[in-house]
Amino acid sequence: MKASRKWIMQRASALIVAPLIVWFLLSLITLSTGDYNSVINFFSKPLFLILTIILLITGFFHAKIGLSEIVEDYIQNEKIKNAVNLLGLLLSIIIPSITIILLLYKF
Amino acid sequence: MNDSKNPLSPHLQIYRWQISSLLSITHRITGILNLLGLIFISAWISSAGIGENLFEYFSVFLKSFIGKFILIGFTWSISYHLLSGIRHFFWDLGYGYEIKTVNISGVIVIISSLLLTVFLWLIGRGLI
């Protein structure tokens, strides 16, 4: 990705993630005191399900860009840099994918 | 490749610590912590999707002292990164570059990140 495009995407994704993560964090704090059924009820609401999916995709996307920025600044060795970036890319695709598939399968 | 020609920045071990550099590195550290939090959230959601038995492990953990401590820490990490991010937005728009403003906005970010953490927990736990 071009640096300027990265710059814009980092900020655009931040605008989406910011309200969603506050909402989800509040829900997590509430749900952490409850039981399994309260969590099932939470994700059974279509709106909450969709918002969670958007949060996962955008959140990991935002994290991936940020991580590569940090890697760019602190890791000098090209091979290690590419390896860390590749690992970050794979994780930021695989983790939300598995989570979303499980969510859609269950709810 | 040209390892030696590739400049590294910033040199954390060389510069004198100032509030501006402390806040900058904290933005990055909280960014990484938030990624770890996001991975935990994914695992938590996945466990709920897989079944009640697996979910119970997460449930017990989140209700434990360490679990609560980590969740509060994560709340602060998110709060800080979000507020610091807003500070970055102002810079992107061209505001707040004066040294005095930078220092003041930095202190505001630190204090309000703590307040936001408390605020979110009070709402989340239904206390307000």
Residue B4 lies in a domain: no
CA distance A58 to A61: 5
With CA atoms as reference, report the closest residue to A51 among A59, A40, A41. A59
Question: In this predicted structure, what is the pLDDT of residue B16?
Answer: 76
Residue B82 lies in a domain: yes
How sure is the predictor about B3, in pLDDT bands with cuts at 50, 70 and 90?
low
Residue B71 lies in a domain: yes
Q: What's the number of domains chain A is made of? A: 1
Any CB–CB contact under 8 A between B80 and chain A? no
pLDDT tens for A39-87 read 999 999 999 999 999 999 999 999 999 999 999 889 989 999 999 999 9
Question: In this predicted structure, what is the pLDDT of residue B10?
Answer: 62
Q: How far is B71 from chain A (nearest CA, A)?
A: 8
pLDDT over 90 (residue B11):
no
Q: How far is A30 from chain B (nearest CA, A)?
A: 5
Query: Which structural domain, as residue segments, surrounds residue B45?
Result: 16-124
Residue B99 lies in a domain: yes
Question: In this predicted structure, what is the pLDDT of residue B128?
Answer: 81
Size of chain A in residues: 107
Query: Which structural domain, as residue segments, surrounds residue A44?
Result: 3-106
Q: What's the number of domains chain B is made of? A: 1
Question: In this predicted structure, what is the pLDDT of residue B21?
Answer: 87
DSSP class of residue B17? P
CA distance B85 to A100: 27
Q: Which two tokens stand for residue B14?
A: 């060389």
Question: In this predicted structure, what is the pLDDT of residue B2?
Answer: 52
Question: In this predicted structure, what is the pLDDT of residue B56?
Answer: 96
Residue B41 lies in a domain: yes
Q: Is the CB of residue B76 less than 8 Å from the CB of residue B113?
A: yes
Question: In this predicted structure, what is the pLDDT of residue A91?
Answer: 95
Pairwise CB contact (< 8 Å): B48 & A43: yes
How sure is the predictor about B15, in pLDDT bands with cuts at 50, 70 and 90?
confident
Residue B10 lies in a domain: no
Mutate to test the interface with B, among A4, A8, A25, A92 (most CBs of B within 10 A): A25
Question: In this predicted structure, what is the pLDDT of residue B25?
Answer: 93
Question: In this predicted structure, what is the pLDDT of residue B60?
Answer: 96
Q: Which of A32, A63, A99 sits opposite B46 (nearest CB)?
A: A99
| CA distances for B71 relative to B14, B21, B29, B54, angstroms | 34, 26, 16, 19
CATH of the domain at B56: 1.20.1300.10
With CA atoms as reference, report the closest residue to A14 among A58, A54, A48, A52. A58
Q: Is the CB of residue B68 less than 8 Å from the CB of residue A33?
A: no
pLDDT tens for B55-113 read 999 999 999 999 999 999 999 999 999 999 999 999 999 999 999 999 999 999 999 99
Question: In this predicted structure, what is the pLDDT of residue B42?
Answer: 98
Burial of B14 (0-12, 13-18, 19+ CB in 10 A): exposed
Question: In this predicted structure, what is the pLDDT of residue A107?
Answer: 84
Q: What is the mean pLDDT of chain B?
A: 92
CATH of the domain at A75: 1.20.1300.10
Question: In this predicted structure, what is the pLDDT of residue B4?
Answer: 60
Residue B2 lies in a domain: no
ipTM of the predicted structure?
0.95
pLDDT over 90 (residue B19):
no
